Amino acid sequence: MCCLSDEFISSTHCIFHMDTQMYNGWTNYATWLCNLWFDNFDFSDDIEDLSGECDSKMELLPLIENHIELVVEDYLDAVVDESNGFVSDLIKCTYNDIDFRDIAEHYVDDVWDDIETYRLNESEPVGV
């Protein structure tokens, strides 16, 4: 089970919450920090699949958001030491403040451009 499961988080009362004011152009400090440490998400291996799944940026956005959130969750599962309750709880509470949609919006235009380029290349006749 993910150390950040909804069940665990909802059963844990978080006293610490990030300020929700904008920070360096991002939703808040937690979102900025997440983007800083996980900058340069690479979607190049997913372009073919995404091309078949998405007909618009609005359809693409939640897929990118979900991908980013899963990468961050997997990372935290691997590195968070559950035996240190204070640090673990602090990370989980801060995690709740990350606006993954904001981060996804940072990538959607570039990924959409890659999808359109992929579709153009796929529609060209062979040998041209």
Burial annotation 101-119 (CB, 10 A radius, 16+ → b, else e): bbbbebbbeebbebbeeee
- 37 near 103, Cβ under 8 Å? no
Answer yes or no: is 57 within a domain: yes
For residue 23, the SS3 value is strand
Cα 63 to Cα 57: distance, rounded to the nearest angstrom: 10
Give me the domain span that covers residue 19.
6-123
Give pLDDT tens digits for 84-122.
788 888 888 899 999 999 999 999 999 999 999 999 998
Question: Amino acid identity, residue 20?
Answer: T
Neighbours of 123 (CB within 10 A): 7
Residue 128 domain-assigned (yes or no): no
Domain annotation covers residue 62: yes
- Partnered with residue 124 across adjacent β-strands are none
**Which of 114, 123, 90, 120 lies closest to 41, judged by CA?**
114
Whole-structure pTM value: 0.77
Asked, for residue 85, whether it belongs to a domain, the answer is yes
User: Is there a domain that residue 1 lies in?
Assistant: no
Residue 118 lies in a domain: yes
Residue-wise pLDDT for 65-77, tens only, equals: 999 999 999 999 8
Residue 12 above 70 pLDDT? no
Tally of structural domains, the chain? 1
First to last CA, the chain: 50
